Structure 1
Amino acid sequence: MAQPQPPILTPEQRLAQENAQRNTRVIRNVAIGGVILCPIIMLMPPRKLDLYTFSLGLGFYLSADHLCESYYGRGLVTQLSPFRAVGELPTEKAREMQRVLREKREEERRKLGKGPEEEGLLKKIWMGGETEGWKDRRLEEEKKALEEGKSYTDMIFEQIWDVWNWDKKDKNGDGKKKE
């Protein structure tokens, strides 16, 4: 089987191609050196934040960006960005699959509906078991306690007692456990 022959180049074209390859190799080696040496030099004493440190940081970023672009075809910021556009997927089949999966997720959400049990974890942790209007209820409880003659110290100790005993009360409901 005959192997395809590379195109015949003139001596000037061959020389230009070799120079381009050599320049690419040198730039890549300088970028690798910049990624390694710039942080090391920045960490050497005296450590201070000045124009010299800023220029070393810029050198590190540009070196890392060049290496990232040569390996992946994208710059460092776009490669590490969590928010990528849909059009960045490599093939049409991948974009179609992503669209189908997104539609399925949306359909499941519509079918199930979003009830209080499906609230986000962060909101559950932040709010605890409280529902809407908790501030008003808390203010009313505080107002009643102050009218009964309790002080803020008493209310704080009651809350600490409730937390310590996990809000367990005896059968009478007076907040004291029977022994």
Structure 2
Amino acid sequence: MPTSTPPSSPSSSPLPTDQQLAQRRQEQYETLKRNLALACLVGCPAIMALPPRKLDLYTFALGAVWVVSANQAARSYTGRGVWQHVAPLADNSALPTERAREVQRALREREERERGEREALGRRDGVRERGLLEKVWMGDEKEGWKERRLQEEREALEEGRGYGSMIMEQIWEVWNWGKKGEGEGDGSKKEGDS
């Protein structure tokens, strides 16, 4: 004889509901994202280190994937992405105490005051202060260097020297840190002569 089982209620059914199924899929998706992010955090630098090591589109793509995976890993562990961790550091209001905000404000004011003093001093002397890039590019050259170079070039051409000898003279000057070569230049004595 067949035994009949009482009908079960929908809430106690062994089959998952749509909501439970969606929640389980979301958890699986988050686990997959976290594991993939961790794999990319290790794998991308390893692939970039393999030969041939070159800086090309693929290297930049691997770097971008690494940054995205680092952001995802940070988000999965802390709930905030990398950029959300960095942003409070740049925000003045995120400092922990009022005393820290006062110190930072005082430092900024002093920095602005010193910058203003340097600019005023530069204007008073009539000499503009060069930036770092300009200092590296131009070296110790003063204003009007183009005119001086053109004058030197005209004088050298009038003396009968060619461009090849002027180029070699420039190379010699750079190689020897600004010292003139033997018998070259303005006719001055060699080093060591009295």
Q: Which residue number in structure 2 is paired with residue 174 of structure 1?
A: 187
Q: Which residue number in structure 2 is paired with residue 10 of structure 1?
A: none
Runs ≥4 in structure 1, deviation > 6 angstroms? Answer: 23-26, 56-59
Indicate if the aligned counterparts of 2:37 and 2:73 stay in contact, CA closer than 8 A: no
1:65 positional shift: 1.8
| Pairs within 5 Å for 1:1-179 | 27=30, 29-38=31-40, 40=43, 43=47, 61-69=67-75, 74-77=80-83, 79=85, 86-87=91-92, 89-91=94-96, 93=98, 94-113=100-119, 115=122, 119-168=130-179, 173-174=186-187, 177=190
AA aligned to 1:151 is G
Task: Mark the CA change 1:173 to 1:95 in structure 2 (over 3 Å): closer, same or farther.
Answer: same
Q: Which segment drifts farther, 150-159 or 139-148?
A: 139-148
Count of residues in correspondence between the two structures: 147
Distance 2:140 2:65 in 1: 52
Cα offsets for 1:85-109 (capped at 9, x unmatched) = 5456344624443222100111122
Task: Mark the CA change 1:86 to 1:62 in structure 2 (over 3 Å): closer, same or farther.
Answer: closer
What are structure 2's unaligned runs of at least 5 residues? 1-22, 51-56
Q: Which segment drifts farther, 33-42 or 149-158?
A: 33-42
Distance 1:144 1:168 in 2: 19
Indicate if the aligned counterparts of 1:34 and 1:59 stay in contact, CA closer than 8 A: no
Task: Mark the CA change 1:160 to 1:57 in structure 2 (over 3 Å): closer, same or farther.
Answer: closer
Distance 1:145 1:157 in 2: 13
What are structure 1's unaligned runs of at least 5 residues? 1-19
1:80 positional shift: 5.7
Task: Mark the CA change 1:161 to 1:60 in structure 2 (over 3 Å): closer, same or farther.
Answer: closer
Distance 1:132 1:149 in 2: 28
Task: Mark the CA change 1:63 to 1:162 in structure 2 (over 3 Å): closer, same or farther.
Answer: closer
Larger radius of gyration: 2
AA aligned to 1:159 is Q
Aligned-residue RMSD, C-alpha: 4.4
Indicate if the aligned counterparts of 2:38 and 2:73 stay in contact, CA closer than 8 A: no
Task: Mark the CA change 1:65 to 1:164 in structure 2 (over 3 Å): closer, same or farther.
Answer: closer
Task: Using structure 1 for the length normalisation, give the TM-score.
Answer: 0.55
Q: Which residue number in structure 1 is paired with residue 10 of structure 2?
A: none
1:79 positional shift: 4.7
